[in-house]
Structure 1
Amino acid sequence: MVSGKAVAFTLRFRNGTAKALDLGDAVVTAEVTDGDPASDSSSKPSSPWKGDVAPGATADGTYVFLMSGGDRDRVTLTVTYDPTQPVVRLRGDAS
């Protein structure tokens, strides 16, 4: 269970292709307001993506990052699952 200075993000991956996609090598990172990287944590409810996602299916993954309250105003999540595909960046307030 996460307590204190951490945030859990649940992300949904939707496979819009005609073939199964492997999420075993997916990487999710976070940067806090000042641009510094947030440390990831395997504490509950952490449950990263794993395995294949069938065509048309979705998979949820939960990623936990350590960050203080003052670092949550502008958080950037970066998501990669395949080096040949574009990187996805999500920005927002996680206060």
Structure 2
Amino acid sequence: MTTGDDGSVRTRSRAVWIGVALIAVVAVVIALIVFLPRATAPVASPTGSATNGTASATDGSASSDPSSSPVATGTIPTESAVPIGSVAPVAPGVTAAVAGFEAVESEAKMPGEVAGPSIRFTITITNSTDAPVSLASALVNVYYGPSQTPSQDMSNPGVKELPAEIPAGASVDGVLVFDVPEADRELLLITLDYQPGEPVVAFQGAFPA
């Protein structure tokens, strides 16, 4: 009778230990599943990813590559600018000049335009070569004041766009209007982007009274 009881006790004890062991194994497996990915996951940098860093630079932070930064207001090069009223070389056999300045009142007729005091002038480009010259990508801009504030080009009054091409041995004119406050006309900078890859032509001086 005693032997049988001891056998039963030993059997029950073995079952209990097996159960405890199984519970322990399950607990270890669950712990590995829950905590292992957290331990091996990469830690995020406090400054953000490379993509976020690039976006921050685009939004206005300094860039380590100056050539990648846009030209800021007040930094248009003027070393090679010629006085307003002079003839400037544009390319071999091609020259430009600005003249015929007038003070006008522009009207807001196109999106983005603001009516007000403006200046109107004529730009003349001469082609002395024996082949036509393209003006399809030519762009004229005006800046005013010591900080070179960009001026808005206007569609009126009396605007005449430059043609897309200058015939060989000919000259063409364009009449342009830009909004420039009357108090800021003592220092004008007029630039001509003739063609991609060519130097910018600049005229600088006071608005001719």
Same fold per TM (> 0.5)? yes
Alignment of 1:6-25 (within 5 A): 6-25=118-137
Q: Report the AA paired with residue 121 of structure 2.
A: F
> What letter matches 2:136 in structure 1?
G
Task: Return structure 1 stretches of 4+ with deviation > 6 angstroms.
Answer: none
Q: How far off is 1:47 after superposition?
A: 1.0
* Residues 13-67 of structure 1 deviation map (CA, whole Å, 9 limit, x = unaligned): 0012221112122100000013110111011211120221111100000111001
Q: Which runs of 5+ in 2 are unaligned?
A: 1-103, 106-115
CA–CA distance in structure 2, aligned partners of residues 90 and 43 of structure 1: 22
Aligned to 1:70, the other structure's residue is in SS state helix
Larger deviation, residues 15-24 vs 69-78: 15-24
Query: What are the within-5 Å matches in structure 2 for residues 38-77 of structure 1?
Result: 38-77=151-190
Of Structure 1 and Structure 2, which has the larger fraction of its residues in helix? Answer: 2
Structure having the higher Rg: 2
Q: CA deviation at 1:84?
A: 2.8
Letter in 1 for 2:197: T
Task: Give the counterpart letter for 1:83 in structure 2.
Answer: P
What percentage of aligned pairs have identical amino acids?
A: 29
Bigger RCO (CA 8 Å, 6+ sep): 1
Taking the aligned partners of 2:188 and 2:178, their CA distance within structure 1 comes to: 11
Tell me which residue corresponds to 2:117: 5
Q: Name the residue aligned to 1:90.
A: 203
CA contact (8 A) 2:137 2:196 kept: no
Q: Distance in 1 between matches of 2:202 and 2:160?
A: 20
Give secondary structure in 2 for the equivalent of 1:5: strand
TM-score between the two structures when normalised by the length of structure 2: 0.43
